[in-house]
Amino acid sequence: MSWPTGRRRPGARCPIRLGSLGSQRIPLLKLPTHVLSLSRLYWTAFLASNMWRQSRYPFLALPRIAADRDRAVRRMIAYAFRHVPYYRRTFLQLGLTPEDFRSGDDITKLPVIDAETIRHGPDQFLADNVDPRSGLVLKTSGSSGVSRAVHIDRAAIFRNAAQGERERSMIATAVGKRHGYREAVIVLDSGLDESSTPRVQRFMRRNAYFPKTVEVERMYIDAAEQPHAYLPRLNRFAPDIIQGYGSSFDHLIDHVTTTRAEFHRPRAAYFHSDAIATPTRAALQALGIPVFSTYEACEALKIGFECDAHQGYHVNIDTYPVRIVDRDGRDVPAGETGTVVVSNLSNRAMVLLNYDLGDRARWLPGPCPCGRTLPRLELVDPSALQSITLPSGRIVNPSQLYGLFLGEPGLHDHQIVHVSPDRFRLVLVVPDPAEREACGSRILKAFQGIVAEDATAEAVFVDRIPLSNGGKKRKYIPLSTA
């Protein structure tokens, strides 16, 4: 939110030109500094122009936004047909040509792909005209648990940052200033190269100019660090905004409320990646701290954002059109729960259309009180337990498992790991050591009662549930990914 309000000009054809610029990019590193500066100037201007009126875009009439989306679909389809092996082959196999795709609805003509599809042939989705070294590779495990690398081209990263104005403009209002604020970022392995947030921010700094007057002062906190350890540092830094995973806020607010520790109140809290617990959101609001969030994935960087009405996520359908589908891949009506399938109309390094994110969601009917027209979805219990299939074929329903953890006041968090077909690990967070044994044996006994002779289980106590490397906290790690 360090840049002026603006809207990306829909239909801007920058990516084609950027593709040709890309062929010059690698040698640039060896050229004299003033040539490199030209490149950074270009990307600075690119960012600024894409920000133009971006914060007003979600209020435009829906047919206008749909027309932008359809134009972007046609461009991306033509590009994929020309440059991406998977789509070239699939089009031929299905007897399709780019002319068969006129609107967002036509994306359904393509097969649904997922993390497994990519894992078996990641190169098939890479465009043959983009130098992969010119962009960024983000690695994530996400909710499916399958590790994958997503290549993103430089223009897509800058366009995404510009589009962030849609939520940053609201956060800026809460903070009361657009630049020169302080932001604490809670992120996994902040000192390493693995986390997406600092990597994207470093990438942008390397490739564009951010004048000192619009710089954001940031401190990074490792999400694996305990709140009691980092809180003194956080208080000294006195951030205007705290950014983190939903579960990071759960840990922080749980610590602050139970120990009454001193806590510098930021002007806004911004979370992403995993869900925030309802009591955490209520506690932040009671402290007068407005809460914002975005729905993100490495495959589609900024799918949606929460507005100040706090009723679901407005989906950026002009860039990341979303479908919510049933088991057979058919779109479900508003209000019904299905799986989120997204298409990325911005990234030309690795083209992903009709991509099953594995998240569960439903469309919210009716207009949003905020006046934005972008449709809204609500994620459905993103860290929820799933049905567990035992070696005998017997299926344990999630509702049986929820009951295990109720009525245990000493239990702060839990995770079920399906280690092998007949073995489970119950990962428990019980802060008081004196309560662990009794609490653990009660839960184990109840769990054993459910799985009976089909499986055995062990209890393990940890200080906190480890996050997946996509920063998501999961209640259940299925057998295939444990």
Beta-strand relationship, 268-272 and 291-297: parallel
How would you classify residue 335: left for phi > 0, otherwise alpha for psi between -120 and 50, otherwise beta? left
Q: Smallest distance, Å, CB 321 to Zn ion?
A: 18
SS3 137: strand
Window of 266-274, 306-314, 422-430, 459-467 that interacts with Zn ion by CB under 5 A? 306-314
Kindly indicate which of the ranges 87-95, 113-121, 202-210, 367-375 contains the residues binding Zn ion, using the contact rule CB under 5 A.
367-375
What residues between 344 and 363 interact with Zn ion by CB under 5 A?
A: none
- If the CB atoms of residues 254 and 306 are measured against Zn ion, the closer one turns out to be 306
Among 234, 325, 368, 416, binds Zn ion (CB under 5 A): 368
62 binds Zn ion (CB under 5 A): no
Rounded least distance, CB 372 to Zn ion, Å:
5
Residue 7 vs 418, nearer CB to Zn ion: 7
**Closest CB to Zn ion among 196 and 293?**
293
In three state form, how does the secondary structure of 400-441 look? Answer: HHHHHHCCCCCCCEEEEEEEECCEEEEEEECCCHHHHHHHHH
Task: Report yes or no: 324 and 363 within 8 Å, Cβ to Cβ.
Answer: yes
Here the tokens at position 272 are 């992403």
Kindly state the DSSP code that residue 51 receives in the 8-state scheme. Answer: T
Mark 16-45 with x for binding to Zn ion (rule: CB under 5 A) and - for no binding.
------------------------------
Beta strands at 241-245 and 268-272: parallel, antiparallel or unpaired: parallel
What DSSP string describes 239-255?
Answer: -SEEEEEHHHHHHHHHH
Element (H, E) at 378: strand 376-379
Long-range contacts of 446-449 (CB under 8 A, 24+ apart): 446/403, 446/404, 447/401, 447/404
Q: How many CB atoms lie within 10 A of CB 189?
A: 15
The verdict on 370 binding Zn ion (CB under 5 A) reads yes
User: With binding defined as CB under 5 A, does residue 307 bind Zn ion?
Assistant: yes
For 51-105, where are the alpha helices, taking DSSP H only?
62-83, 85-94
| Span near Zn ion by CB under 5 A; candidates 93-101, 168-176, 215-223, 305-313 | 305-313
Contact code string over 312-351 relative to Zn ion, x by CB under 5 A: ----------------------------------------
Instruction: Please report whether residue 60 would count as binding Zn ion according to CB under 5 A.
Output: no
Q: Which stretch binds Zn ion (CB under 5 A): 95-103, 216-224, 266-274, 303-311?
A: 303-311
372 binds Zn ion (CB under 5 A): yes
Count of residues near Zn ion by CB under 5 A? 5
Minimum CB distance to Zn ion, residue 363 (Å) = 14
Cβ pair 467, 408 in contact under 8 A: no
Nearest residue (CB) to Zn ion, 317 versus 368? 368
Minimum CB separation of residue 316 from Zn ion in Å reads: 13
| Residue placing its CB nearer to Zn ion in the complex, 190 or 293 | 293
**Beta-strand (E) ranges in 143-289?**
148-152, 182-187, 217-222, 241-245, 268-272
Which residue's CB is nearer to Zn ion, number 293 or number 339? Answer: 293
Task: Indicate whether 474 belongs to the interface with Zn ion (CB under 5 A).
Answer: no
Q: How far is the CB of 54 from Zn ion (least distance, A)?
A: 16
Tokens 């040539």 -> residue: 35
Euclidean distance between CA atoms 400 and 403, whole angstroms? 6
Stretch that binds Zn ion, among 20-28, 125-133, 309-317, 400-408 (CB under 5 A): 309-317
Between 309 and 460, name the residue whose CB sits nearer to Zn ion.
309
Half-sphere exposure of 191 (CA within 13 A, CB side): 3
User: Considering the rule CB under 5 A, would residue 377 count as an interface residue with Zn ion?
Assistant: no
CB of 306 to Zn ion, least distance (A): 8
Options 26, 192, 309, 462; binder of Zn ion; rule CB under 5 A: 309
The contact set with Zn ion (CB under 5 A) reads 307, 309, 368, 370, 372
